[in-house]
Amino acid sequence: MARINLRGVGMPQMQVKLEGDWKRVTNALSNLQPALSNGYDIGATQAMKEVEKTVKKAIRSGAPPPNSGVYWQPLAASTIIKYGKHGIYRLTLAYYRSIKLQKTRKGRITVGVSTNMKHPLHKGLTIVQIANILENGNGRIPSRPLWAPSLKSVGGRPFIRNRILKSIKKELMKKGFRSNEIRITSW
């Protein structure tokens, strides 16, 4: 599927150590959940925007994402004769325009193509179906992976985790926590 989400990149286990000023402790604890949620949303959104930017740049350039280790076969002569010369992912720009950041019902941040859009030239297919054909190939069309290589190009899941953790820590510090009071124990 042409989508990158943060499944499996849930909230880290965190330890917050507060001693002494109980009024401050009580206030900090009441702000804990909003800070964690906001930090996660901000960090995940930043990370997914970076992936989106990389995907769109690859589409515009007609070349796989840098440092992804992927090679795309050029268009077949028959495709160029039928549709004219165009970038591999840029026949109509419908695919490019359909790429969006979305927040799921479960609160996950994703980047991918809009699910219900029909392709303007291939009337029986949606943009998602076209994305899957381009991503995986179909016998006639060679695979030209875009999404996993784009994630790899930005630094993969460690990049996403780091963005989220930095944002969570920043939000906690806005709510009165000190840097030395926040310890992320595992993920």
Q: What is the pLDDT of residue 5?
A: 45
Q: State pTM to two decimals.
A: 0.80
Residue-level pLDDT at 79: 85
Average pLDDT, the chain: 82
Q: Which helix (H) or strand (E) holds 184?
A: strand 182-186
**Tens digits of per-residue pLDDT, 110-134?**
898 877 777 666 678 888 888 888 8
pLDDT in tens, 34-88: 888 899 999 999 999 999 999 999 999 889 999 999 999 888 888 888 888 887 7
3-state secondary structure 101-158: EEECCCCCEEEEECCCCECCCCCCCEHHHHHHHHHHCCCCCCCCCCHHHHHHHHCHHH
Find out whether 4 and 110 touch, Cβ atoms under 8 Å.
yes
Nearest Cα to 51, choosing from 40, 65, 62?
65
Is residue 9's pLDDT more than 70?
no
The H or E element spanning position 182 is strand 182-186
Check whether 3 has a pLDDT greater than 50: no
